[in-house]
Structure 1
């Protein structure tokens, strides 16, 4: 898939111009699904807006940087929700793990690399 460079430039501007808030740190349980424990830090870009009306979601990997690895496009039939989530500073193994997480149960997803 050929994504225009302008799209990635705009996402980079959103990331670098926003505070990353980690509201679900690595090792914490999901508030609605307590059996799910976050394997990585998960949060959002403060003062942004996504298609669900909340802020833009981010997965923050172990590389400790704000470089965008890509986006994951998700659909959740139970929540009747479609979103994109940014993957920042993730290793290849972490990217695969995130893709797997979003392809379980009522969710389906695909990854677009930057």
Structure 2
């Protein structure tokens, strides 16, 4: 499924200001979760970064404005917000750098 410009519901399992359950040094400055009832190549539900929200959330409905394509991993990430065309690729990368710095990533937008 092509997720760009689609409205999706994200279940937040790593809310803003939380730490990774296995990697204690990884802190989430933004909300991070998954889109239920989807399947990504890693066998898990499709992961999503939620940007433009500044409080910890439990769930979120927004529009996919970008896809983070990892060239050295099979697990792409969605970027979801309610502010379409508000963020440049550079701004998106700055917001997700806390985790994407460990991968070769490129941002796909429309």
Task: Sort the TM-score into its range (normalised by shorter chain).
Answer: 0.7 to 0.9
Equivalences, count = 99
Q: Larger RCO: Structure 1 or Structure 2 (Cα < 8 Å, ≥ 6 residues apart)?
A: 2
Q: In angstroms, what is the RMSD of aligned CA positions?
A: 2.7
Residue 20 of structure 1, aligned match among 10, 21, 37: 10
Structure 1: gaps (5+ residues): 1-5
Q: 1:94 to 1:22 in 2, by over 3 A?
A: farther
Query: Which runs of at least 4 in structure 1 moved beyond 4 Å after TM superposition?
Result: none
Larger Cα-atom Rg: 1
> Counterpart in 1 of 2:56?
none
Higher helix share: 1
Structure 1 position 101, deviation (Å):
3.2
TM-score by length of 1: 0.70
TM-score by length of 2: 0.72
